[in-house]
Structure 1
Amino acid sequence: MFVESTSNAKSFTAMLDQFKEHIAQKFPESASGKTLLAVSGGVDSMVLLHLYHALKLDFAVAHCNFQLRGTESNLDEKLVIDFCKKYNIPCFVERFDTMQILESRKVSIQIAARELRYNWFKQICIDYDYQFIATAHHLDDQTETFLINFTRGTGIDGLVGIPEKNENIIRPMLNFSREEILHYATENGVEWREDQSNATTKYLRNKMRHLVLPVLKEENTEFLKSFQNTLHHLKQTQLLANDAVAFFEKECVQMIENQLEFDLDKAQDFSNKKHYLLQVLKRYGFSSADEIEKICLSEAGKVLKNDQFTILKDRKKLIVFEEKSISNIIFCIKSKDDVLSLPFFMNISEVEKEGFNSDKCTIFVNSNLLKWPLILRRKQTGDYFQPFGMNGIKKVSKFFKDEKLSKIQKDNTWILENGDGKIIWIVGLRADDRFKITSNNQQNYKITLNQ
């Protein structure tokens, strides 16, 4: 369906001035930067386009044709292209084979369209140096999102609704209602097209729009204004909560070698500890407060996993790390002159007959016992060695246990193996006694680890 205003009014409404002031206050960086407008052809996005053009901002238009409505989709595309041609506005158009993508991905139309749309927008920004993506979400959209999240069950993050800014995505029309947008469009001769699917109640959002919101507005003619006040209070509460979580992180959380460590002793000082933990762990894909409480109370060694991250209970800590299978990776040192650079720097050099001062990063070995190539690898089942200063052999797993290493420390420990399969060094922990220097008449090597 094509809609065109019958009004010939030339004057701009107060909305233009309000929009200009809103941009200056909330999005000043976009006023001077390059912005990509997401324009569907509906009234909301066409008014956004009209406002940006009226303010002479630096922008281009991106239109997605999902080819789901046949001729109607193509007419939407034509409307956007014609407007841009008329006013010499850069315009990007992409036609997606949405149905084929739906069949291959097995996701809903809404999810598929959103992913296609935003992935394409972001690629345009990269290719053509646009700093911002602007969408035409408005106050009614915000209210519908609140109601949807409310009915499904959510925390405060879900109740505050659609953010005004999210990375480089901005939503400069959230302060304006659909009624104000329609009034601006009709008064200023803005052309737009209606998507007839928006009139049905097939989808939950449409049910909220056509069945719930009208009742609320009928009961309270100032409903949207009241909702804005409620949203403001919720956002203030969200800021207070965020400050509390930030203080919790400062006191109880630290990042050590790409892993996150929670000090559970210090966390005891915070009431409702599991919910503080939850707020931080949400960023890593963990969303169950009960599961987090359970692992806090579990014995050392217990883990909680998702597709990407693992939480390890390690005595009085929770340790979060990314799962990366590197158990089969090995590095070869072919000769004394071969300097290893990965996974760390390791070099071998000849040393004088005196002054063997070992530490955790340096060992001294009898060079006559080395067989090339040396291998740097992870622990394997059945590994054993003769710890320096001891007469008997010991399983590496038992050595790790005696050293009270956490699972992460065990997994991140490297072993230097001789060409004959004997362990030379549990790197950074203990050398093997079988390779020790026994006579000053031998040729000796120093092996140095530079982390």
Structure 2
Amino acid sequence: MALLHFLASNRKGLQVEVGVVHVDHMLRGEESAKEGKFVEAFCKGVGIPFYGGSVPVPAILKQTGGNIQTVCREGRYAFFDEVMRKYRYEFLATGHHAEDQLETVLMQVTKGSNPLGMPIKRRFTIGTLIRPFLCVDKAEIYQYAKELEVSFREDPSNQSDDYMRNRFRHYIVPYMVRENESVLKNIVPLTDELQEDEALLQQLAREQVELHVEFTQDGFPSMNVKTFQGMPTALQRRAIPLLLDYLYHKEYNALFYKSDLIRQLLEHLDSQEGNVSLDLPYGFLFIREYDKFTLRSKHAVQERQLPLLKGEKVYWDDYLWLYWEKITDVNSDLLLSAKEVTFFDLPEESFPLSARPRKEGDRILLQGMTQAKRLSRLFIDEKVSRTSRDQLPVVVTKQEEVCAVPSVRYGKKFTKQQTADSKYIFVVGNN
């Protein structure tokens, strides 16, 4: 509210148009709904557009599970993105302050991450996310609200010790402030300098990787071990994630790119004695043979075609399963663990369906298109990593017509919402 008041009061001087996006996570019933009305009323009073939305977090958690804070964050930022795109806003301003920055650094240290804190600005979808109050401590914000009579609401979950950030906020940060009153002011320039240093090291590591990386005939990254060992250790640590990006395209960054994985790979790259093969997540391998190491798929693309029988759960690999059935006969238990659910109708002569790896020349007819699109072009447009393309199932009809590529796109006969023409349901899940 202090940030909103500040921007609303200074929009003419700053020469900016201000809008407000508010998300109700639906965790506190009527209380959180009233908070949305409170913000909307303020916006109406100062003549600022208000964009309200909600994310059914309890329902999402019940259906798919997961971390409540992650679900909340992903839901609200998805709505932020939607509003920015629809109304062409260039900046997303959030109210993070210096105490938030100190808490973030402490959490990163605790989790074994690089303690860089939050950047004061970063790219966000079509624009830029900015944190104008990052150099201001919370006491100053409260003082601002008091002096200018800015009304606000406090989320009661901020008092709960169930969350790591709150535990740092309640117990660790106050102790640090008592030890040194300047700690909140000091953390901001400190993280700025660390982020600048990190940006330079990342650039140097990227230059080294691009200079020395080679690719196998099937497109997997490889590098000479001695060349890698000749890089400074600080660049080696940063080169590992860059090489993994060739496999995962940052799709699983939060899950895999941890310090323990990087240390493990660095240990194997510290020597050239013997050969080493190490399993990586989702069917990939690290292989060191003689003077080279390669990151590649564990299994070559196999010529296989799995029949997709109606009403049967079919496992494509160790991580993905497929299922389809008449809507009236669907196994509702499978929907609870579904990753994707779509609805479709196909003529009887299209059955049986089957799943196979992609083939050269495969095309798919998408919604709104009059001509089928090459899968090779589709994968490029959808930014599917090269190695993932060979692992994805391609769903085809009896006539070998591609009707779906689960996890990427579905054909013209498939819809996300059930329609009057929908006869069947198609479900994809993770093991």
Q: TM-score range by the shorter chain?
A: 0.5 to 0.7
CA–CA distance in 2 between the matches of 1:243 and 1:177? 32
CA–CA distance in 2 between the matches of 1:205 and 1:259? 40
TM-score, normalised with respect to structure 2: 0.58
In structure 2, the CA distance between the partners of 1:60 and 1:219, relative to structure 1 (3 Å rule), is same
**Counterpart in 2 of 1:128?**
87
Is 1:217 matched up with 2:192? no
CA–CA distance in 2 between the matches of 1:270 and 1:279? 15
Q: Which runs of 5+ in 1 are unaligned?
A: 1-42, 331-341, 345-407, 413-451
Aligned-partner residue type, residue 122 of structure 2: N
CA–CA distance in 2 between the matches of 1:305 and 1:152? 21
Spell out, residue by residue over 1:15-57, the C-alpha distance to the aligned partner (whole angstroms, 9 max, x if none): xxxxxxxxxxxxxxxxxxxxxxxxxxxx455446545646451
**Counterpart in 1 of 2:118?**
162
CA–CA distance in 1 between the matches of 2:297 and 2:50? 41
SS in 2 for 1:58: coil
**Counterpart in 2 of 1:343?**
360
Spell out, residue by residue over 1:189-217, the C-alpha distance to the aligned partner (whole angstroms, 9 max, x if none): 22211112213333221222222222222
Aligned-partner residue type, residue 63 of structure 2: S
In structure 2, the CA distance between the partners of 1:47 and 1:139, relative to structure 1 (3 Å rule), is farther
The alpha-carbon deviation at position 248 of structure 1 amounts to 2.6
Aligned-partner residue type, residue 17 of structure 2: D
Higher Rg of the two aligned structures: 1
Tell whether the 8 Å contact from 1:263 to 1:316 is kept in structure 2 after alignment. yes
CA–CA distance in 1 between the matches of 2:49 and 2:165? 32
In structure 2, the CA distance between the partners of 1:91 and 1:304, relative to structure 1 (3 Å rule), is same
Q: Which residue, 28, 43, 59 being the options, matches 1:84?
A: 43
CA–CA distance in 2 between the matches of 1:233 and 1:301? 38
Spell out, residue by residue over 1:45-82, the C-alpha distance to the aligned partner (whole angstroms, 9 max, x if none): 54465456464512322111112122220221011111
**Counterpart in 1 of 2:106?**
147
TM-score, normalised with respect to structure 1: 0.56
CA–CA distance in 1 between the matches of 2:56 and 2:263? 42
CA–CA distance in 1 between the matches of 2:16 and 2:241? 39
The alpha-carbon deviation at position 247 of structure 1 amounts to 4.0
**Counterpart in 2 of 1:238?**
198
Q: Which residue, 49, 52, 56 being the options, matches 1:97?
A: 56
Deviates more, 1:45-54 or 1:208-217: 45-54
**Counterpart in 2 of 1:291?**
264
In structure 2, the CA distance between the partners of 1:248 and 1:44, relative to structure 1 (3 Å rule), is farther
In structure 2, the CA distance between the partners of 1:125 and 1:268, relative to structure 1 (3 Å rule), is same
Q: Which residue, 226, 229, 243 being the options, matches 1:268?
A: 229
The alpha-carbon deviation at position 114 of structure 1 amounts to 0.6
Aligned-partner residue type, residue 65 of structure 1: D
Q: Which of 1 and 2 has higher RCO (CA within 8 Å, sep 6+)?
A: 1
CA–CA distance in 2 between the matches of 1:238 and 1:247? 14
SS in 1 for 2:51: strand
In structure 2, the CA distance between the partners of 1:301 and 1:151, relative to structure 1 (3 Å rule), is closer
Instruction: Write the mapping of 1:46-61 to structure 2, written as runs, cut at 5 A.
Output: 46-47=4-5, 49-50=7-8, 53=11, 55-61=14-20
In structure 2, the CA distance between the partners of 1:72 and 1:240, relative to structure 1 (3 Å rule), is same
CA–CA distance in 2 between the matches of 1:95 and 1:229? 36
Aligned-partner residue type, residue 112 of structure 1: V
Q: Which residue, 179, 186, 191 being the options, matches 2:151?
A: 191
The alpha-carbon deviation at position 278 of structure 1 amounts to 2.6
In structure 2, the CA distance between the partners of 1:324 and 1:82, relative to structure 1 (3 Å rule), is farther
CA–CA distance in 1 between the matches of 2:85 and 2:273? 46
The alpha-carbon deviation at position 138 of structure 1 amounts to 1.2
Percent same amino acid among aligned pairs?
26
CA–CA distance in 1 between the matches of 2:211 and 2:165? 42
CA–CA distance in 2 between the matches of 1:188 and 1:50? 13
CA–CA distance in 2 between the matches of 1:286 and 1:200? 30
Q: Which residue, 249, 252, 261 being the options, matches 2:212?
A: 252
**Counterpart in 2 of 1:381?**
none
CA–CA distance in 2 between the matches of 1:95 and 1:74? 9
In structure 2, the CA distance between the partners of 1:289 and 1:128, relative to structure 1 (3 Å rule), is same
Aligned-partner residue type, residue 131 of structure 2: R
CA–CA distance in 1 between the matches of 2:10 and 2:292? 52
The alpha-carbon deviation at position 255 of structure 1 amounts to 6.1
In structure 2, the CA distance between the partners of 1:293 and 1:136, relative to structure 1 (3 Å rule), is same
Tell whether the 8 Å contact from 1:277 to 1:292 is kept in structure 2 after alignment. no
CA–CA distance in 1 between the matches of 2:137 and 2:9? 15
Q: Which residue, 300, 305, 320 being the options, matches 2:280?
A: 305
CA–CA distance in 1 between the matches of 2:87 and 2:75? 18
CA–CA distance in 1 between the matches of 2:360 and 2:10? 52
In structure 2, the CA distance between the partners of 1:286 and 1:215, relative to structure 1 (3 Å rule), is closer
In the alignment of these two chains, the number of paired residues is 292
Is 1:317 matched up with 2:292? yes
Tell whether the 8 Å contact from 1:309 to 1:320 is kept in structure 2 after alignment. yes
In structure 2, the CA distance between the partners of 1:323 and 1:91, relative to structure 1 (3 Å rule), is farther
Root-mean-square deviation (CA, aligned residues, Å) is: 3.4
In structure 2, the CA distance between the partners of 1:103 and 1:51, relative to structure 1 (3 Å rule), is farther
The alpha-carbon deviation at position 218 of structure 1 amounts to 2.0
CA–CA distance in 2 between the matches of 1:93 and 1:111? 20
Q: Which runs of 5+ in 2 are unaligned?
A: 249-255, 306-358, 362-386, 392-431
Tell whether the 8 Å contact from 2:268 to 2:276 is kept in structure 1 after alignment. no
In structure 2, the CA distance between the partners of 1:260 and 1:170, relative to structure 1 (3 Å rule), is farther
**Counterpart in 2 of 1:178?**
138
Tell whether the 8 Å contact from 2:228 to 2:236 is kept in structure 1 after alignment. no
SS in 2 for 1:167: strand
Aligned-partner residue type, residue 66 of structure 1: H
Aligned-partner residue type, residue 211 of structure 1: Y
